[in-house]
Chain A
């Protein structure tokens, strides 16, 4: 019988620790599929961050690093400057990239560092137990905003991709989602384009992936995907925010 679907080589054959219904697994798979399809397994280097995806370095079967909280873009800068022909990507959540690590990602983008950030935005802190994230929506109830996120106390959600798209060093900035089969397909294309932009040496690239967190949102997986579609996408519109002129 012909095998038509299998685990990508770039993903290790092991159980993942993610919660049921979490979309990290989907995004891991998409990244691994793209690495395989681009035949880049031998040159790929993953930089895991701190948060739910802290063990991403176990799942990606390529060489890897585990960076301190928020500093993955600085670590990736060090790696890529030493090994300019490798495919280097960070895998960071919204607490890591949009809160503690804003400085590092902004300046990596400004310098036009030639690595790719895979940025998982699920509007909440997962690993530490459901606290408000910089990306939590207005009114969103979390364990640290039990009365809902409010502007007086918490201010407003951060749209990282829009900010990063303003920087001249950013070559490719896009926001995708994984709430439906069609959106998953588009997310994969975006990851491929970002990796191609990196390997063409055009500058910094980032793929923001709107993701769900059923556990900490307190929703069953399907309802969580629906919540993402109805609440997150209006505030975080999908699409390419920056494509440098050199990108074909």
Chain B
């Protein structure tokens, strides 16, 4: 097994190619640039296509066409570009087309900046585009996990015929870490008996569309989508447990924020404090099952985010009033510092004693 140093953004590209993705449509934006750079070079080597579109709006609609034609296809961007894609993402979800969308989040709102953030959480897990729909949202916390999750992202997209978003931040995209690349394995892309490819002798006509002009049918379509989301919600929750078995204070964090929280947990544990970390790997479906496991020992939860407090709402829903939930965050491209999180933890532990 080969071990090599790789940037997070490059790992997304390598993971996609290893997952059998052969079509990439995208528009340049920082801080995800190394990903298109990587794929522009690699896709032709594997007989794939890298196409630079004229805008994110065009990119996501090219993804719509390629996904409808049955291809494994992806696009990537960062906050402002992902905002431009929202109409298309809603169409993809409505037409039940599988694809992978990568968001390497930067500081916002507006043009914000190009520094790392997690403030697109709401946009990713609560909709973003118009209408009732859900994305499956994956949040890796290391370069190795990016590689591992890219294959899952495409498989989940095909399994549920739904767009999957892989969400990272500028730190994850830019940093280099050693990764182990498993040997090239045979990829089986599931058959797509719905793809609209030209009839080619087929009797039935195939249509890729999100239009449901008759209200009764549109309601039925929504109900069908939500039955699918219910299955995904039940079966696809993923999380990492770190020192949780007896944790009285449970830190909840994803991606880069979770990495920093791990260091805080280590410090607290060295001091004999019962602190642990619950790291959601799927942001949708949110890993509510993990909260049920921790609720017996937990006296309090602390959501640590690179935002003004977005995931904390889902933490509160999962805890459902049974324990106090606090929030600590840095925003606008600033990272939470271990020392500050530690101080926050100390404050909460002291409050717990009082």
Q: Please give the residue numbers on chain A whose beta carbons come within 8 Å of chain B beta carbons, in ascending order.
A: 41-45, 47, 54, 57, 61-68, 71, 74-83, 86-87, 103-104, 106-107
Contact = CB atoms under 8 A, between A and B. Distances in A.
A66 B210 contact: yes
8 contacts: A64-B205, A71-B64, A78-B66, A79-B196, A82-B70, A103-B55, A104-B57, A104-B58
Contacts of B58: 71, 74, 77, 103-104, 107
Nearest to A60: B205
Contacts of A61: 205
Interface in B53-111: 53-55, 57-59, 61-71, 73, 87-88, 91, 95
Contacts, number: 126
A87 B199 CA distance: 11
Contacts of B71: 82
Given A78-B68, A82-B71, A71 B200 contact: no
Contacts of A74: 53, 57-59, 61-62, 64-65
B47 interface: no
Contacts of A45: 196-198
Contact of B62 (A75, A83, A87): A75
Contacts of A106: 54
Contacts of B197: 45, 63, 83, 86
Nearest to B69: A82
A65 B205 contact: no
Main DSSP-derived SS at the A contact region: helix
Q: Which of A42, A63, A68 is packed against the most chain B CB atoms within 10 Å?
A: A63
- Which 9 pairs, one residue from A and one from B, show the smallest C-beta to C-beta distance? A78-B65, A74-B61, A66-B209, A78-B66, A107-B54, A71-B61, A78-B62, A75-B65, A82-B69
A104 B59 CA distance: 10
B182 interface: no
Given A65-B209, A78-B65, A103-B55, A71 B198 contact: no
A42 B199 contact: yes
Contacts of A68: 61, 64, 87-88, 91
A65 B70 CA distance: 13
B228 to A, nearest CB: 20
B25 A78 contact: yes
A81 B49 contact: yes
B23 interface: yes
Contact of B68 (A42, A65, A77): A65
- Among A44, A67, A78, A107, chain B packs the most CB atoms within 10 A around the CB of A78
Given A74-B65, A78-B66, A79-B66, 8 more contacts: A66-B95, A74-B59, A75-B65, A77-B62, A78-B68, A82-B70, A87-B198, A103-B55
Contact of B61 (A41, A62, A67): A67
Contacts of B49: 81
B23 A75 contact: no
A86 B51 CA distance: 19
A79 B210 CA distance: 17
B337 interface: no
Nearest to B59: A74
Given A71-B58, A82-B71, A63 B207 contact: yes
A192 B55 CA distance: 31
